[in-house]
Amino acid sequence: MSTIWLVLLGLAMGAIFGVALEKSRVMEPGVLVGQFQFRNFTMLKMFLAATITGLVALAVLNGAFGVALHPKTFALGPVLIGGLILGVGIALAGACPGTALAQAGAGYRDAYAVIAGGIAGAIFYGYNIDWIGAALSFGSYGKITFADLLPLPFWGLALILAAILAAFLLVVLERLVPWQADMDKAEALLDVDAVQAGHGYSAPAE
């Protein structure tokens, strides 16, 4: 596949991702902050649904078509420190690198500060990648997966995990917190006047 087709494919996938973020309301700051307060579970439900879809797709590609997987090196340092920085940033800003772009497209001017911070962080990391990489290299286990540790092929493990996550999402989480309740909370938090003014940072979910 040529470079131009890869770029076009990336743009198409990005557009679909952006529409999904906007229509699901996961990009709204109050919804994001509400997830970290365990008061609105729209974000978790969307992430679980995306994970399940990805597991099934990878299982089919690997099991039926023999597509090879290329896992990254598993290291505790980047996972723990990077996850902590990202989580704190989302909780404080009500946005992440992906949702900030959707927020900017929807007219949330405050999202530009998050985008600028992400660009600044990427530049800082690029110029300091050597010492940052060395500092976060602890707990590295190489390119290891559950398929390497268990007597089951990847596609089988992926389908089993997808089924477990789907059961948790539909049987447990959705019954405890129905999606209608989450949407009602998001609707109550939406500050229309603030959105029209270019802000729209609704209060934390109640």
Tens digits of per-residue pLDDT, 132-154? 988 888 898 888 899 999 999 99
More reliable by pLDDT, 201 or 131:
131
Place of tokens 């598993």: 74
- CA distance readout (Å), 53 to 21, 23, 47, 57, 135: 16, 18, 10, 6, 35
Give yes or no for residue 95 having a pLDDT over 60. yes
pTM for the whole structure: 0.84
Determine the 3-state secondary structure of 140 from DSSP: strand
Find out whether 173 and 45 touch, Cβ atoms under 8 Å: yes
Q: Using one digit for the tens of pLDDT, what is the confidence trace for 62-81?
A: 999 999 999 988 899 999 99
SS3 content of the chain, % helix, strand, coil (to 5): 70, 0, 25
Is residue 51 predicted with pLDDT exceeding 70? Answer: yes
Mean pLDDT of 24-38: 93
Q: How confident is the model at residue 204 (pLDDT cuts 50, 70, 90)?
A: very low
Nearest to 25 by CA among 49, 14, 48, 41: 41
Q: In 25-96, where does DSSP find H-type helix? A: 29-36, 42-65, 76-93
Q: pLDDT tens digit string along 100-124?
A: 999 998 888 889 999 999 999 999 9
